[in-house]
Amino acid sequence: MIIYLRVLRESFNFAINALTTNKLRTFLSLLGVTIGIFSIIAVLAAVDSLKNEINDSISSLDNSTIIIMRFNFGPSDVPRWKSEQFPDVSYEEYQYIKRNVPNTKAVSFTLNVPRTAIKYEENSISNVDVGAITHEYYDIESLQIAEGRFFNEAESNSGTPVIVLGDEIAKTLFSSSSPLGKKIRLYGRKFTVIGVLKKEGSGLFGESKDTTVLLPVNMARKIFGDNNKSTFPQIIVKPEKGIDNEGYIADLTQKIRMARGLKPDDINDFFINQLKGFKDVIDDITGTMNGIGWVISGFSLLVGGFGIANIMFVSVKERTNLIGIQKSLGAKNKFILFQFLFEAVILSLIGGLIGLILVFVVSVMASSFSGDFNFVLSPWNMFLGTAISAIIGLISGIIPAISASKLDPVEAIRTGQ
């Protein structure tokens, strides 16, 4: 063990000497490894950061959550021109599902309505995101109330003009005073504030419920009607835990077909989108991005490997005389072999560490400039970068190391003189 530690120390000294003595040659040789490691780890870190942000954005919803509407999350066998003719889901269908689909924990009817300006006395905010929902949405998304309460079933069914504010909206309109019981105006109507949502921070695309207001969907239906082209309805269903997912979706599909009076040979004129399917699509996209990153970075690593091999062949040639002297003094072939292998690995690790440092610097800058988006450089990615660097060095140095270990000591001394 001691001898290998000595070899490692001597190889490290040789590597540092090669770096300092031939700066330009070393720089060009390590550049490929540095760029390759930087490219791979940067892509992996960016993809991981994107996935984490997406997961955080939808973490309040269970993977089994189902969204029923006339559009599909992903690719579909139904032609686009045909799906565009599908009818919107209705409030009556939401009620039908509540009554007739067993093993359902919660069902909510939501209406995507236009953004609008809201006003309280002299304070106003423009372009506010409005969520028109039924009371069950509170349980589906596990909303958290910081102050006041959420609207109840009676207020939801009757369309009472009550409203729940996001944290940022409440602070902008009411500053440090309590908004509860105050009346604000939007869509030309007055709404009584009954609650404020807990602050959650910005989401993936800069939006969150901090900048959203929530009101009973039946109030929105009074304002816009049921056939307004500026609105878009959805039914959100949360099944009970532990049930057969495929069986539940099949039963749900059949019940909606019955409600719509579809014949056996008619295709479904609606789409049942599961959140898990959306996450699977995201995983496919990020997996493809990872693959492309590996392919592109692989070329840089290939160039870097040739660079390391080149500098090692030059190093063997420059130290031929020294190798002959070492072998004449009793150094075994494996000693010479490990000496040059260690040197190749160390040189490659230096290039890899430089690449990791660059990724770290870029990640810090990206996180600071992107606000709440957190660019993650995980320990696994750092370990992966280090391991890849070591492997590149090992592969690149194996042939020069073998050639050095097989040199005849007499010929090596004569050649080196």
Fill in the amino acid letter for 137.
Y
Within this chain, do residues 291 and 227 fall inside the same structural domain, yes or no?
A: no
Sign of CA dihedral 59, 111, 128, 172: negative
Q: Is residue 275 one of the residues assigned to a domain?
A: no
The pLDDT value recorded for residue 205 is 42
Q: Which domain holds residue 196?
A: 87-269
pLDDT, tens digit only, all 417 positions of the chain: 666 677 667 666 766 666 677 777 777 777 777 887 787 777 777 777 777 766 665 555 566 788 999 888 766 777 778 878 889 999 999 999 999 999 999 999 999 999 999 998 888 899 999 999 999 999 888 788 999 999 999 999 999 999 999 999 999 998 888 899 999 999 999 999 999 999 876 554 445 788 899 999 999 999 998 888 888 899 999 998 888 888 999 999 999 999 999 988 889 889 888 866 556 666 677 677 777 767 776 776 777 777 778 777 777 777 777 767 766 766 677 777 777 777 778 778 888 888 888 888 887 777 676 655 567 777 777 777 778 878 887 887 788 777 777 776 666 676 655
Whether residue 240 contacts residue 103, with contact meaning beta carbons closer than 8 Å, is answered with yes
d(CA 249, CA 239): 9
Total of domains in the chain:
2
User: For 118, phi and psi rounded to 5 degrees?
Assistant: -120, 150
Residues 369, 299, single domain; the answer is yes
In a domain, 72, yes or no: no
Q: Would you tell me the crossing angle of helices 379-405 and 333-369 to the nearest 10 degrees?
A: 150
Task: Looking at the structure, tell me whether residues 211 and 319 fall in a common domain.
Answer: no
Q: Answer with the one of 213, 248, 269 that is the final residue of a domain.
A: 269
3-class SS at 206? coil
What is residue 274's predicted lDDT score, i.e. its pLDDT?
A: 80
Q: Where a domain ends, among 240, 269, 298?
A: 269
- 37 C-beta neighbours (distance < 10 Å), count: 30
The whole-angstrom separation of Cα 271 and Cα 66 is: 10
Map residue 183 onto helix, strand or coil. Answer: strand
Cβ-contact 408, 328 below 8 angstroms: no
Judgement on whether residues 175 and 324 belong to the same structural domain of the protein: no
Q: Of 227, 246, 269, at which residue does a domain stop?
A: 269
My answer on whether 185 and 205 are in the same domain is yes
Reference 311, options 39, 41, 33; nearest CA is 33
Predicted TM-score (pTM) of the model is 0.60
Cβ 217 vs Cβ 130: under 8 Å: no
Q: Which amino acid is at 125?
A: I
Is residue 79 included in any domain, yes or no?
Answer: no
